[in-house]
Amino acid sequence: MFPLRLLALIFVSSATVDPSPEEEKEKQDDEEEKSRYDLVFMRGDLLEVPRTLFTHFGIYLGGGRVAHFIPDIMPVVSTNQFRLKQMVSNTRLILGVLAKAGSVRVDSVEDFAYGAEIILNPMDKMCSCAVLQGEEAARRAEKLLGDVAYSLLWYNCEHFVMYCRYGTVMSFQTFQFCKTVRKLLLSRGVAKVTAVLAACLLVYLRVLNTWSVLLAVLLPFLLWMAS
């Protein structure tokens, strides 16, 4: 954890600056402009934005604000509220994934979307669970605000929004990833290659005893049966 904190202090802290009066005024103007999103989204809506390698999810809270769960190293290395509220950079995100640290935070719709197209409530037709009331979904999201342990596979942004809107903790992205890995690793072709490699390794190392032969046969057999 210490190397990650050191990297964060070097690459993240150096990039933060105090806001100027002009920036503060622009921020106030933006707050008034964000209310227009209330005409498009309802409180408790699930928002989806496609990214390069994954899809990001959030819950709309109203007033142009979105609650979303994102990996972030900053809560581990700083307590400065201004730095914590700044938009999460790629450096902060990557270090957060490695450190398994994240936070449920509130950002503007613009910062959440990051220039991508927003898809509204895409899971309503995919999930078999009933959709909770919008107010209930938003309240669940607000109750979870703060630092949360992050897992790329077992608890990510999709798990968060699924709990808030449908009352279940699951991720279609994780399911699809595990399904793909299973097809790649647990296949008959992999079992055959493993058997050949194991036999070649035994001959090369000249280790032909009961236990080595058993292991060389058992691993390909398990892969074959699991395929």
pLDDT in tens, 147-189: 999 998 899 999 999 999 999 999 888 888 777 877 777 777 8
- Alpha-carbon distance values, 7 to 71, 76, 139 (Å): 15, 12, 35
Kindly compute the dihedral angle of the four CA atoms of residues 61, 32, 103, 122, in this order, to the nearest 10 degrees.
40
Secondary structure of residue 128 in the 3-state scheme: coil
Q: What is the pTM of this model?
A: 0.72
Q: In whole angstroms, what is the distance from residue 132 CA to residue 171 CA?
A: 17
CB 57 within 8 A of CB 165: no
Span 102-128, mean pLDDT? 91
**Which are the catalytic amino acids?**
157
Choose the CATH number for 36-170 among 3.90.1720.10, 3.50.50.60, 2.40.30.20, 3.40.630.30: 3.90.1720.10
Residue 22 tokens read as: 């002009």
Domain limits of the chain?
36-170, 187-226
Name the pairing type of β-strands 65-71 and 55-62: antiparallel
Q: Name which of 24-38, 49-63, 91-105 the model is least confident about.
A: 24-38
